[in-house]
Amino acid sequence: MIAFIVLAIVALAGALGVIVARQPVHSALFLIVNIISLAVFYILLSAEFLAAAQVIVYAGAIMVLFLFVVTLLTAGKDDHEPSEHLAGQRGTAGVLAVVSGGGLAVLGVVFPSKKVPLGLPHNFGNLHGMGQMLWGPDFIYLAAVALMLLTAAVGVLVLNRPQTKSRPEVRLEERES
């Protein structure tokens, strides 16, 4: 329980930091803190494979790509905010936050929660259990998601295809001349 509270505080602080930080790189760092504390949550649930996968995929691959782009874009720039293009978005966001938060609170009071059955299924989130689930009865969904992601990746490549048929070296020479 103590571990849960400490972790929850760290995770929430990370999540808040993402939106509060002025520097995009600091936001990315807070997001990594959040991701890693989620991974430790998985370990508390003894879902060790989920934890390792969370760190490898999200912290190790996706966030590195994020940082790759963010460091390139923010290098040597001042960190004060650009002027706002959309007038009054702060006020609107505040109103929306109050409305949605209030709505959730009302819902919570009107429909009090039932007791959630505790106890985790056998093999929850470890290598064996995940493998059984992904490659067993649910394989069709895994294949569908994989196909969708592959299509998206190939689609990006096709959409960004250069119009001219020239090879990169030739284009480089053209640009230089």
Partner 1 sequence: MMVLQVVLLVIKIVLLIGILMGGFAYTMLLERRLLGFFQLRLGPNRVGPGGLLQPIADGLKMALKEDLMPLGADPLVYRLAPVITLFTALCIDAVIPFGAPIHLFGLSVNLDIANPSIGLLIVFAFSSLGVYGLVLGGWASQNKYSLLGGIRASAQIISYELAMGLAVMGVLMMAGTANLEGIVLYQKAHGWLIVPQIGAFIIYFITAIAETNRTPFDLPEAESELVAGYHTEYSGMRFASYVIAEYINMITVSGVAVTLFFGGWLGPVLPPIIWFFIKVAIFLFVFIWIRATLPRFRYDRLMNFGWKVLLPAALIYFLGTAAFVTGVI
Shortest distance in whole angstroms from residue 48 CB to partner 1: 5
Q: Applying CB under 8 A, does 25 fall inside the site for partner 1?
A: yes
Burial category of 38 from C-beta neighbours within 10 Å (exposed 0-12, middle 13-18, buried 19 and up): buried
Distance of alpha carbon 31 from alpha carbon 41, whole angstroms: 15
Q: Applying CB under 8 A, does 18 fall inside the site for partner 1?
A: no
Q: Applying CB under 8 A, does 129 fall inside the site for partner 1?
A: no
Q: Applying CB under 8 A, does 55 fall inside the site for partner 1?
A: yes
Place of tokens 């849960």: 4
Residue 36 near residue 55 (C-beta atoms within 8 A): yes
Residue 58 near residue 37 (C-beta atoms within 8 A): no
Q: Applying CB under 8 A, does 123 fall inside the site for partner 1?
A: no
Residues that bind partner 1 (CB under 8 A): 23, 25-26, 29, 32, 48-49, 52-53, 55-56, 59-61, 64-65, 67-68, 71-72, 75-76, 126-127
